[in-house]
Amino acid sequence: MMREHWLAPEHLVYPMFVQAAGARQEIASMPGQYRWPVAELVEEARRLHERGLASLMLFGLPETKDDEGGGAWAENGVVQTATRALKRALPALQVITDVCLCEYTRHGHCGVLHATASGVEVLNDPTLELLARTAVSHARAGADMVAPSDMMDGRVGAIRRALDSAGFAQTPILAYAAKFATAFYGPFREAADSAPQQGDRSGYQMDMANGREALHEMQLDFEEGADMLMVKPALPCLDILAAARARFPVPLAAYQVSGEYAMIKAAARAGWLEEARVVRETLLAIRRAGADMILSYFTPDLLPNGR
């Protein structure tokens, strides 16, 4: 009666990695997380859905990469195939798809790459068309919601227009709106094989030192039509979440990223932290700061029949 916040399956989104080829593989820096072949992904999702899982977020590992990231919008791409299989088997499970190019480009950047005298540069505007194409292909495969994570300027508007004109006016956009450039994504890049080959992401992701700019970035995505706004990473950005809660009427999401997961897992494995309690405390802190939903790799542990 007196508690202000709690965790329920409706608050949680489980991020999962799906691969086009090969057997299930555990991700070394994310113990308990796997790269799943499509058929096994569906079976795992079924087990979790039976225990109360409401939503998952899909990341794809294509069989091959190219310079443009063509696998991202291929009709028979890995995310498209997995989405169709999931929606066919489990129509009530909400499937959110990550819209980005970094898993599909050979260079590992989130957009179109251009070589300059001093290194490389990601071209913002030419990337928008490719992201929009990707989002439409996900919607066509049955995605319930698309989540652009690239951080290009103007992508939410471009994706909204493309979805609308392709007949997907009802498909909502969850924008990774304040996404910081951080080493906390390290384990994910191993999992998704998406580390940039040259340079880093500071040209398009946020500087950890900037809070006001993060709110400005969120404002832009909101004005372009984002239905939900995400802050990422979660625990290092509780101040941003709290400020965003006071400012935006739309639902807020927070992503407890791979590095946050790996830290807790490593300390628990060493016997230095009580994992189950720390997980609950971090997630409650994220809810308290203002998140309506949390993307967390710990989601299976928090379902009614915890594993």
Question: What phi and psi, each to the nearest 5 degrees, are found at residue 231?
Answer: -115, 140
State which residue, 90 or 232, has the beta carbon closest to ligand PBG. 232
Tell me, rounded to whole angstroms, the distance of Cα 68 from its chain centroid: 20
Among 65, 87, 232, 265, which one carries the catalytic annotation? 232
3-state secondary structure of 38: helix
Between helix 124-141 and helix 155-165 the angle, nearest 10°, is 40
Helix (H) or strand (E) holding 69: none
What CA–CA distance (Å, rounded) separates 187 from 28? Answer: 8
**Which residue of the set 65, 87, 179, 265 is catalytic?**
179
Provide the minimum distance between the beta carbon of 291 and ligand PBG in the complex, in angstroms, as a whole number.
15
Chain residues that interact with ligand PBG, rule: CB under 6 A: 98, 100, 102, 110, 149-150, 185, 188-189, 201, 257-258
265 is catalytic: no
- The CB-of-106 to ligand PBG minimum distance in angstroms stands at 15
> Of all residues in this chain, which one has the CB nearest to ligand PBG in the complex?
188
Tokens read off for 109: 């950047």
* 179 catalytic residue (yes or no): yes
Tokens 């049955």 belong to which residue? 142
Residue with smaller CB distance to ligand PBG, 58 or 244: 58
Is-contact 147 99, C-beta < 8 A?
yes
Q: Which is nearer to ligand PBG, 38 or 192 (CB)?
A: 192
Compare residues 90 and 226 and give the one whose CB is closer to ligand PBG. 226
Q: How far is the CB of 135 from ligand PBG (least distance, A)?
A: 14
Is the distance from CB of 149 to CB of 173 less than 8 angstroms?
A: no
Q: Please classify residue 210 by burial: count the beta carbons closer than 10 Å to its beta carbon, then call 0-12 exposed, 13-18 middle and 19+ buried.
A: middle
Q: How far is the CB of 184 from ligand PBG (least distance, A)?
A: 6
Which residues have a catalytic role annotated? 179, 232
